[in-house]
Structure 1
Amino acid sequence: MNCFRNGVTRLLLTRIPFFKEIIVSSFSCDSCSWSNTEIQSAGRIQEQGVRYTLAVTSRQDMNREVVKTDCASARIPELDFEIPAFSQKGVLTTIEGIIDRAVAGLEQDQPARRATDKEVARKIDEFIGKLRQLKEVNSPFTFILDDPSGNSFVENPHAPQRDEALVVTHYRRSPQQCALLGLEGEEVDAKPPDAADDLRDEVLQFNTNCPECNAPASTNMKLVQIPHFKEVIIMATNCDSCGHRTNEVKSGGAIEPQGTRITLRITDPSDMTRDILKSETCSVEIPELEFELGMGALGGKFTTLEGLLKDIRDLVEKNPFTLGDSSTPSRTGKLQEFIGKLQDIIEGKAQAHFIMDDPAGNSYLQNVYAPEEDPELSVQRYERSFEQNEDLGLNDMRTEGYEPEPASGR
């Protein structure tokens, strides 16, 4: 598209563990030496959208790696600047690279604008100057990446420690966002009142596609009562084509009036066998390792403490920006040390505190002394903050004293 002569486009289907499958395309032209690279997601759309909010305060932040899919939008509120969804192809770049692409896009038609409308061209030149000044980071600014498909990513250079400058928010897509992604709600036939039997002993099955190979598979769903807790829904998917297995748990009840903070002091290898219900709104913290896993990560799980710690270990090992091809040697050594300490906890060679914080109150950690108190386990109830209620969608929810507006008499 530069000199309009024939070039060569190369396509590569590859699998990145953290981002599932992607298609990498690379174009090059021998006539004018112009080249271009793009990525497209070849995996499934995630169950929730994701929003990354980064406070850029230094030149190092400009080098953070970013995966931006074509359905993601990028915003810089300080300049009232936005790159709308589907206006650019997917790309693997950095914060600075995204700004450079925006500048290149604005400069593309400037010669024509200067000939037809000098005033508009002058204003765009001024705005391009402001974008270029952002690269120097003379003053802090905010970078927001919002992807309804959940397949975009902003690097955390401090992983596995928490990044104070980066806020990751998972959210449920709106009907408009679902329509934009080509997703349609499925209508489920309601059971007649006379068929409202007890589903606790029944395993329901519905057809779906494997998240790994996309082959037809089946998902089993069952309602389970956890002793001394509540009912949950367990879903398991098995693929006969590639052997992939996955399971997920959803809370079968409502959001609790208060949040729950569960703290377990791991002192014995037998603690690894404790049952755990981690909801998708629950965050996990291990203070001794300075590690924190945000809400929405790993989804909902019903497993043991050992199983959850192994999932955390696999999450760090399979992330290409931590220990993969995109990692740096200095960070690799630090993360290898972290994985070693985590493995010591799993094998019972080290003691640590395991903290689960669930604003929705739908997570659970087994008390092996039940119904007596567990000396190593403490459960605290707390009032949710306004921000936590906002993340759960409770601030705009009205369930009491609701009266519909009277119908018009016309």
Structure 2
Amino acid sequence: MAASGAVEPGPPAAAAAPSAAPARPSSAGPFFRPFSADDEEQQPTEIESLCMNCYRNGMTRLLLTRIPFFREIIVSSFSCEHCGWNNTEIQSAGRIQDQGVRYTLTVRSQEDMNREVVKTDCATTRIPELDFEIPAFSQKGSLTTVEGLISRAISGLEQDQPTRKVLEDTIAERIDEFIVKLKELKLVASPFTLVIDDPSGNSFVENPHAPQKDDALVVTHYTRTLEQAEMLGIQAEAPEKKVEEEDLKNEVLQFNTNCPECSAPAQTNMKVVQIPHFKEVIIMATNCESCGHRTNEVKSGGAVEPLGTKITLHITDPSDMTRDLLKSETCSVEIPELEFELGMGVLGGKFTTLEGLLKDIRELVTKNPFTLGDSSNPDRSEKLQAFSRKLDQIIAGKMKAHFIMNDVAGNSYLQNVYAPEDDPEMKVERYKRTFDQNEELGLNDMKTEGYESGLAPQR
């Protein structure tokens, strides 16, 4: 006799092998099967679960299926053998779609009442002829027919009627009248419209003529609103904030940079300025707190103009010194009375007044290190001093002169105090650039024609 708790020896492993469960064949069927009542292999999955009516265990059956010309869904059905309570609902087996969907069906016959309908819990159902609506999330998702939707609505309205007739008899009578209208719809005595609006895009109304077009059914896909996306619990993209033009003009942007003198960290302020009767420009100013160096620069906010610009101003009055002036990097300056010419690129881009530019020119010329000191040429120093005195006379309005700005890119500007009328003391000329001028701007090798067709022109 074997000792207590001992286990008697079993058969050898080789003998036990034939009784093992057979392996699942590699050619197993698809996880989601087409929805068909004739498919005998389509068996639901049964799960024991709690009945919320009697709090005893009932049975939930899950069926994974695919609706033709639609997508996969999960059909669940619960029944309790103890109290007889049952419930059915459907859930989408896929994700929330990129767009919402709206089905508008015109019901004209009993065949239309038999169309299959997938209604998710977030879908809204409407019958415009009766001004009737079933709000979103007021019912569980269901796989039914058009007739089933109406019958479910009738059952929901009849559910609390006995209580209403006791407490609110007037409302109960009105609901009874409405239930009669819903029952008349099931007879299809006259056509009516059924609208199912689902922002998740997972509802469906059968097209019995698929894949051909159904004249009675209109399917509309639309972009969800922020409220609908929030209702579905998905993160909606924040709407792009429209920056008004005035806000952009009044805003000063800052970015970190290094001082060009001492290389210490500094900040550059940048602002967009609209010049009246001209164009937008970008002003950048840098102020170094370490060495005190200051610099400012102006960039054109537009492209290179098709024609160059030559602006000639006859300085006749001290008030001319207050004219606003935009000198781009490609602009040269000439004062014939002083036999002076400033090449383009010198002093960089500037947005200042005429007086401010003339003072910058004077400082540039008189503080040239090669013209100062003991080794400087006396004749050259004397000429520079004479130039400085004449320039001061022009700034003070005691000497008349011509001030010429020649910009091959056409991005310079001198204020017209008579705008929009012509200025009698100022002449603006537009001219076609030469090949050498285009070469300086790098335009000769820049080809922008013919790219719409994908073929660049041959040189």
- TM-score, normalization by structure 2: 0.45
Shift of 1:325: 5.3
Residue among 315, 338, 361 paired with 1:266: 315
| Cα separation, 2, equivalents of 1:290 and 1:195 | 54
**Paired position in structure 2 for 1:375:** 424
| Cα separation, 2, equivalents of 1:373 and 1:405 | 44
Residue among 252, 266, 279 paired with 1:203: 252
**Paired position in structure 2 for 1:341:** 390
**Paired position in structure 1 for 2:18:** none
| Cα separation, 2, equivalents of 1:205 and 1:242 | 19
Equivalent residue runs for 1:11-410 within 5 Å: 194=240, 197-198=243-244, 199-324=248-373, 326-402=375-451
Relative to structure 1, the CA distance from residue 344 to residue 206 in structure 2 (aligned partners, 3 Å threshold; closer, same or farther) is same
Q: In structure 2, what residue type is equivalent to 1:194?
A: E
Please, what is the CA RMSD of the aligned residues?
A: 1.9
Shift of 1:235: 0.3
Q: Give a deviation string over 1:237-267, Cα, whole Å, max 9, x none.
A: 1122222221110000001110000000000
Shift of 1:356: 0.1
| Cα separation, 1, equivalents of 2:430 and 2:330 | 15
User: Unaligned 5+ residue runs, structure 1?
Assistant: 1-191
Q: Secondary structure at the match of 1:394?
A: coil
Q: Give a deviation string over 1:164-192, Cα, whole Å, max 9, x none.
A: xxxxxxxxxxxxxxxxxxxxxxxxxxxx9
Relative to structure 1, the CA distance from residue 283 to residue 325 in structure 2 (aligned partners, 3 Å threshold; closer, same or farther) is farther
Q: Give a deviation string over 1:102-155, Cα, whole Å, max 9, x none.
A: xxxxxxxxxxxxxxxxxxxxxxxxxxxxxxxxxxxxxxxxxxxxxxxxxxxxxx
Shift of 1:364: 0.2
Relative to structure 1, the CA distance from residue 196 to residue 237 in structure 2 (aligned partners, 3 Å threshold; closer, same or farther) is farther
Q: What is the total number of aligned residue pairs between the two structures? A: 215
Relative to structure 1, the CA distance from residue 193 to residue 218 in structure 2 (aligned partners, 3 Å threshold; closer, same or farther) is farther
Shift of 1:324: 4.7
| Cα separation, 2, equivalents of 1:323 and 1:374 | 41
| Cα separation, 2, equivalents of 1:398 and 1:327 | 49
Q: In structure 2, what residue type is equivalent to 1:285?
A: E
Kept in 2, the 8 Å contact 1:320–1:326? The answer is no
| Cα separation, 2, equivalents of 1:261 and 1:226 | 18
| Cα separation, 2, equivalents of 1:215 and 1:347 | 39
Relative to structure 1, the CA distance from residue 390 to residue 246 in structure 2 (aligned partners, 3 Å threshold; closer, same or farther) is same
Q: Secondary structure at the match of 1:194?
A: coil
Q: Which moved more, 1:370-379 or 1:195-204?
A: 195-204
Q: Secondary structure at the match of 1:197?
A: coil
| Cα separation, 1, equivalents of 2:377 and 2:390 | 20
Shift of 1:379: 0.3
Kept in 2, the 8 Å contact 1:323–1:335? The answer is no
Relative to structure 1, the CA distance from residue 324 to residue 247 in structure 2 (aligned partners, 3 Å threshold; closer, same or farther) is farther
| Cα separation, 2, equivalents of 1:329 and 1:230 | 46
Shift of 1:349: 1.1
| Cα separation, 2, equivalents of 1:250 and 1:342 | 27
Say which one has the larger Rg.
2
Shift of 1:326: 4.9
| Cα separation, 2, equivalents of 1:232 and 1:312 | 22
**Paired position in structure 1 for 2:170:** none
| Cα separation, 2, equivalents of 1:326 and 1:253 | 46
Q: In structure 2, what residue type is equivalent to 1:328?
A: N
- TM-score, normalization by structure 1: 0.50
| Cα separation, 2, equivalents of 1:391 and 1:324 | 36
| Cα separation, 2, equivalents of 1:325 and 1:280 | 34
Q: In structure 1, what residue type is equivalent to 2:264?
A: A
Q: Give a deviation string over 1:259-294, Cα, whole Å, max 9, x none.
A: 000000000011000000000000000000000000
Shift of 1:211: 2.0
Relative to structure 1, the CA distance from residue 377 to residue 194 in structure 2 (aligned partners, 3 Å threshold; closer, same or farther) is same
Shift of 1:328: 1.2
Q: Give a deviation string over 1:27-86, Cα, whole Å, max 9, x none.
A: xxxxxxxxxxxxxxxxxxxxxxxxxxxxxxxxxxxxxxxxxxxxxxxxxxxxxxxxxxxx
Shift of 1:327: 2.5
**Paired position in structure 2 for 1:16:** none
Shift of 1:317: 1.4
User: Unaligned 5+ residue runs, structure 2?
Assistant: 1-237
| Cα separation, 2, equivalents of 1:324 and 1:195 | 60
Relative to structure 1, the CA distance from residue 193 to residue 265 in structure 2 (aligned partners, 3 Å threshold; closer, same or farther) is farther
Relative to structure 1, the CA distance from residue 324 to residue 373 in structure 2 (aligned partners, 3 Å threshold; closer, same or farther) is farther
Q: Secondary structure at the match of 2:263?
A: coil
| Cα separation, 2, equivalents of 1:193 and 1:315 | 51
Q: In structure 2, what residue type is equivalent to 1:246?
A: T
Percent of aligned pairs with the same residue?
78
Q: Secondary structure at the match of 2:240?
A: helix
Q: In structure 2, what residue type is equivalent to 1:264?
A: L
| Cα separation, 1, equivalents of 2:336 and 2:254 | 41
| Cα separation, 1, equivalents of 2:375 and 2:427 | 40
